Each structure stands twice: as structure tokens, then as C-alpha cells.
């Protein structure tokens, strides 16, 4: 029997019937999975679509990055230089901070060495070598206080030497108060400036300085003293006293002549002769024939003075 050859149409019909049977079988499997509570398997076309979308998104991101790199490529050198400058500036700032901390620590060490005990020359070195630091400012304050104390002592002995000391103290206090924030150092500088002005005879400036200390630092240790000094300088009586005191000519006393006696031995006479032996004549003067008569009456005591000293009464 002669076999019938397959026609093209039969092959296409066979493929179509096979596809329909596969589709029907898949629908039956999905219905069965739904009835049994199992997850339904999505068609393969859904997974392919998602993969295609992800691939498209990845390609778009890569294209964006490539475009950005291409745009920045001409400026890449400048960008790298800018980043390098920022890093260099940060490193420099950290180094400067460390150096400043080391200098501040050294300034305090020098200050503590200068005031234990107080050494004026060492304090001057601290103020010169560490200007603008807290230790340097405290060194300036101590120097001004020392000048004020010395000037106040000389004011009653030698006015010519006292006035430059007092003026130097006032200038030192005023320099510390220029642009200075509130604090213990500023409080002491303000009070010291008022004291220096009072010693210089500037009563109005001194009273204003004391009032400023009492108002700016009401809870400070110097507030009570400042209020007391301010009240004592009020009125014309205080001004008259300071005017009178400024008119006084305070000069140092004449020094005693302690020059050695001509002809005396280098080691002195010791116990061999009295102190006036070098001036005694060669022969002793004759003793008087009769003693001098005693006064008939006692010399009257000065008016208002006791006849005998307290030691004699005892």
C-alpha cells in the first residue's frame, strides 16, 4: 500500500492542535493549584518581561553614568586639585591647632615659673614671648600691680619716682581692658586702674572706675571694696584733700654720712679705745676745781607734755 506524503498544511495543523492541548493542560494545572491552595505558576512570558525591564533600566543607569563621566572628564584635573587643596587645608588647620595648644601650655608653664617666687624679669619675658595668650595677659596684670604697689609706697617718700610708676601701672591696666571680655582678669584690671587714678590725684576718674566695678561685677570679690572707695571719694572734702596732698613736696631724706674717720685703722679700734679716741687730745684736760652747781628748780616740762615718761612712772 502506498503511503500518503505529509502535506505542509497537515504540519501546521498538528502544531496548532499541540499548542491548544498544552494551553488547556496549563489551565487545568492552574485550576488544580488554585483548588489545592498551591501558588499559581505565572506564565513564562511575565518573567521574561520583567527581565527585559530590568535590563533596560540597567542600561539606562549605565548610560547616565557614562554621560556624567564624559561631561566631567574635561574638568577632572581641576576637581582633583580642589579635593587636594581641601585635604591640605584640613591637615594644616589640625597642625595649627596642635601648635597653638602646645604654645598655650608652655606659656602657662613659664608664667607659673615666673610667679613662684615672683620674678619681675621673668614676668616681662612671659608677656613679651606670649602676647595675646591668657598667661601673657596675667603676666601684664601682675606687672601693673607691682608697679602700683611700688608707686604707692614711694608716693609718701619720693614723688618724682612715684609718679612714673603709678602712670605705668595705669597704662598697663588700661591696655588690658581694651577689647577684653568680662572675667576675673578684667575685674582686677578695672579695680587697679581706679586705684592708680586715685593715687595720681584723678579723683573723678577713680570714682567712676570704682562705680564701674561695682555695677559690672556686683557679685565679684572686689565689689564691696569698690563701693566703699566710691563713697569715700564723694564730696568736695575728698577733692580738697587730694589737691592739698598733690601740692606737698615729698622728697627722700638726706642720707647719713657714714664715711670712715681719717686716720682710723681699717679694722676699727675694737675694744682697745673708745669710739672718739682718734679725736681726743694728747693730754687730758684738767678737771674743774668745783662741780657745776645743780639747778635750784627742775626745768619745767613742755606745755601739754607729762613731767615724767610712762616708763619712769612705772
Query: How confident is the model at residue 199, as a pLDDT?
Result: 94
Contact 200, 163 (CB under 8 A): yes
Q: Quick one: DSSP state of residue 178?
A: T
Say if 75 falls within a structural domain.
no
Q: How far is CA 114 from CA 117, 126, 142, 220, in A?
A: 7, 8, 10, 27
Query: How confident is the model at residue 249, as a pLDDT?
Result: 80
Q: Which of 162, 127, 160, 155 is nearest to 141 (CA)?
A: 127
Three-state DSSP at 115 gives strand
Q: What is the pTM of this model?
A: 0.56
Distance CA 84, CA 72 (A): 17
Contact 140, 127 (CB under 8 A): yes
Counting every residue written for the chain, the total comes to 314
Query: How confident is the model at residue 147, as a pLDDT?
Result: 96
Say if 141 falls within a structural domain.
yes
Say if 5 falls within a structural domain.
no
Say if 271 falls within a structural domain.
no
pLDDT digits (tens, 9 = 90+) for 264-282: 455 544 444 434 433 334 4
CATH number, residue 236: 1.25.40.10
Say if 139 falls within a structural domain.
yes
Distance CA 30, CA 42 (A): 9
Q: 184-199 and 159-177 helices cross at what angle (nearest 10)? A: 150
Query: How confident is the model at residue 18, as a pLDDT?
Result: 57
Query: How confident is the model at residue 63, as a pLDDT?
Result: 75
Say if 307 falls within a structural domain.
no
Domain interval for residue 155: 107-247
pLDDT digits (tens, 9 = 90+) for 2-29: 555 545 555 556 566 656 665 555 555 5
169-175 long-range Cβ contacts below 8 angstroms, 24+ apart: 169/144, 169/145, 169/196, 170/196, 170/197, 170/200, 172/140, 172/141, 172/143, 172/144, 172/147, 173/141, 173/144, 175/140
The structural domain count of the chain equals 1
Each residue's pLDDT tens digit in the chain (314 positions)? 455 554 555 555 656 665 666 555 555 555 555 555 555 455 545 555 566 556 655 677 777 788 887 787 788 788 888 889 999 999 999 988 888 888 888 889 999 999 888 889 999 999 999 988 899 999 999 999 999 999 999 998 999 999 999 999 999 999 999 876 678 999 999 999 999 999 999 999 999 999 999 999 999 999 999 999 999 998 888 888 998 988 888 777 766 655 555 444 555 444 444 344 333 344 444 444 444 444 443 333 333 333 333 333 33
Distance CA 70, CA 63 (A): 10
The DSSP code sequence of 58-95 is HHHHHHHHHHHHHHHGGGHHHHHHHHHHHHHHHHHHHH
Say if 282 falls within a structural domain.
no
Q: Quick one: DSSP state of residue 286?
A: P
The 3-state DSSP composition of the chain as helix, strand, coil percent (nearest 5) reads 65, 0, 35
Distance CA 213, CA 16 (A): 109
Contacts of 216 (CB under 8 A, 6+ apart): 182, 187, 190
Say if 295 falls within a structural domain.
no
Amino acid at each position: 500500500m502506498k503511503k500518503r506524503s505529509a502535506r505542509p498544511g497537515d504540519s501546521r495543523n498538528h502544531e496548532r492542535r499541540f499548542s491548544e492541548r498544552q494551553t488547556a493542560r496549563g489551565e487545568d494545572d492552574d485550576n488544580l493549584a488554585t483548588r489545592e491552595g498551591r501558588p499559581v505558576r505565572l506564565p513564562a512570558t511575565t518573567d521574561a518581561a520583567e527581565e527585559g525591564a530590568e535590563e533596560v533600566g540597567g542600561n539606562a543607569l549605565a548610560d547616565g553614568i557614562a554621560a556624567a563621566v564624559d561631561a566631567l572628564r574635561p574638568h577632572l584635573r581641576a576637581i582633583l586639585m580642589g579635593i587636594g587643596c581641601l585635604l591640605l587645608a584640613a591637615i594644616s588647620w589640625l597642625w595649627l591647632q596642635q601648635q597653638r595648644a602646645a604654645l598655650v601650655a608652655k606659656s602657662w608653664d613659664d608664667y607659673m615659673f615666673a610667679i613662684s617666687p615672683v620674678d619681675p624679669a621673668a614676668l616681662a619675658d612671659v608677656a613679651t614671648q606670649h602676647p595675646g595668650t591668657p598667661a601673657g595677659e596675667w603676666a601684664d596684670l601682675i606687672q601693673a600691680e607691682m608697679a602700683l604697689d611700688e608707686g604707692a609706697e614711694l608716693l609718701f617718700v619720693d614723688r618724682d619716682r612715684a609718679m612714673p610708676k603709678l602712670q605705668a601701672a595705669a597704662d598697663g591696666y588700661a591696655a588690658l581692658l581694651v577689647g577684653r571680655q568680662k572675667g576675673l582678669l578684667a575685674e582686677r584690671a578695672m579695680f587697679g586702674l581706679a586705684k592708680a587714678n586715685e593715687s595720681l590725684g584723678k579723683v573723678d576718674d577713680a570714682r567712676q572706675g570704682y562705680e564701674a566695678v561695682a555695677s559690672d561685677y556686683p557679685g565679684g570679690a572686689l565689689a564691696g571694696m569698690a563701693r566703699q572707695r566710691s563713697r569715700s571719694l564723694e564730696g568736695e572734702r575728698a577733692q580738697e584733700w587730694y589737691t592739698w596732698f598733690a601740692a606737698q613736696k615729698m622728697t627722700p631724706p638726706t642720707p647719713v654720712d657714714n664715711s670712715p674717720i681719717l686716720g682710723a685703722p681699717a679694722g676699727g679700734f675694737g675694744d682697745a679705745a673708745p669710739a672718739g679716741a682718734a679725736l681726743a687730745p694728747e693730754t687730758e684736760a684738767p678737771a674743774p676745781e668745783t662741780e657745776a652747781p645743780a639747778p635750784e628748780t627742775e626745768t619745767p616740762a613742755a606745755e601739754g607734755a607729762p613731767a615724767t615718761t610712762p616708763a619712769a612712772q612705772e
